[in-house]
Each structure stands twice: as C-alpha cells, then as structure tokens.
Amino acid sequence: MPEGPEIRRAADCVHRQLAGRRLDDAWFAFPELAGQAASLVGRRVTAVDSWGKALLIRFDDGRVLYSHNQLYGVWKLHAADREPDTNRSLRVRLVTQGRAASLYSASDVSLWDEGRIGDHPFLSRLGPDLLTHGVTVGQARARLLEPRFRRRGLGGLLLDQSLFAGIGNYLRAEILFFAGLHFKVRAGDLEEGALTRLAACILAVTRQAYEQAGVTNRADWAAADRTLGATRRRWRFAVFEREGLPCHACGTAIERVRVASRRLYLCPCCQPAG
C-alpha cells in the first residue's frame, strides 16, 4: 500500500491539474454526493494536499473533498474529452478548462466543510502529517516523549498513525536504520542526542522518499548497487527488502523479522538490541 510520500506526490499531480481553476463539471458515483455535484460547478480549486493516506481537494467556498485510495483506488489525470484506458470503476470526476481528474475504484469519498474536516472519523485519529503540516525536529521530539508514546517500542510505535500520519512499513525500516536504533528501543529511554537523531531521521527520510519518488537510500550506496546491476527495487532502499544482503555501512547481513505483524528489516550490527 502506498505510504505518505506516494499519496503526497499523487496530491501534487492533482494539484497541478486542477488548482487555481474553476470547475466546469463534477460527477460522483455515490448517491450521497451526486446531489452536491452541481454546487461545485464554478467553484475554484484552491489547493490539493494530503493528510497521511488521505487526499484533500480544497475549494474556494471552504469545502473539502476527502478521498482515501485504500488498496485499489487511483487518480488518473487526462484530457476531459479522452477517457483513460482502464477497466476500473469511475467514482469521481472533476473537470476544468479541458482537463480532468478522475478517481477510480475508491469507495471512501466525502465532502466536508473546512472547519469540520478534522472531525472526519479517519482524520480525527491521525497525528500530524510529516509533509503537509510543517512538523519540526523539536515538535517531533516532543511528540515522541508524550506519555501515550514514550514507553512503546519504536518498531510498533512508528506504524501508529496517531503519532505521525504517513509512515508505513518501508519508511519505518529505513528511519530506524538511519537513526541506528533497534525496534525494541523506547523513545522515553533514549538519550538526548539519540532522540534528536530519531526525530531528524523521521523527517529527513520521509522528505527524501517524497522528493525522490520512494528512494530512501544514500546516493553513493544506491550508485554502487546500480553499478553492480541491481534493480531499482533493490537499490532504492538501505535495508528494506534486502534480507541476506550486506549492510551498506558495515557489511553485516541484513535480517528480516516480524514486528507489529509486519515485516521489518534491520542491520543487527548498526542497530544493536542492547
């Protein structure tokens, strides 16, 4: 499933397609939304952003269209007079100045007033989005030390969307590796330097994944792997999905374990348990 950086990149694409323009047409497959489609015609799209794995389209009248792709949903951008080549089921279509953004296969779509979007049943459970809400290293440090988070092992905690929205399985493994921390370590037990390093890695790894289309590896390590003929799936990560391969930093074989019912990859030397 896509993680926060992938959803934010999708939001950026929809933003470029629609933002700053007024809708010429709107269509919804859902009966509860179909009656509101006409009221969106003529409204200007002010921004498209994301919160965790949800995509938010904002209009100039203060309304926000919420959508969550879940497992199979996908936005397709196309000319308004040309249907995308797909067998998926159309759920939403927004048209402006000959351009269209169409959402296929998603089932979680709703329209909200801006002032109430935080009350959405899904969004209300999320922590701040690392790419949208301007989280600083200091704020990330403070959040990790909140009573509800500080005594939990990092391997499970980082997947908790109430901590930070958008961190999924590959980001968790890469963050812990670059922070040099074992998955059993608790934020409340970290010394000040290690805590700051963790907070900085949470932000930096997520930002890099967003800016480099899912690549979290160091540039020199990735280049070395490519020289050896590695596929993108292998060279894009430092540890994720590299079980049995040598750690880029120390040469120790990368291990795979299960933590919080998800696979986690780590270097036992660079991320010692004790």
Residues carrying an active site annotation: 2-3, 53, 262
Please count the other Cβ atoms lying within 10 Å of the Cβ belonging to residue 119: 10
Q: What gap in Å lies between CA 77 and CA 83, rounded to an integer?
A: 10
Q: Are 176 and 165 in contact (CB under 8 A)?
A: no
For residue 188, count CB atoms less than 10 angstroms from its CB and return exposed for 0-12, middle for 13-18, buried for 19 or more.
middle
For residue 236, CA distances in Å to 33, 58, 174, 258, 263 come to 40, 33, 11, 21, 17
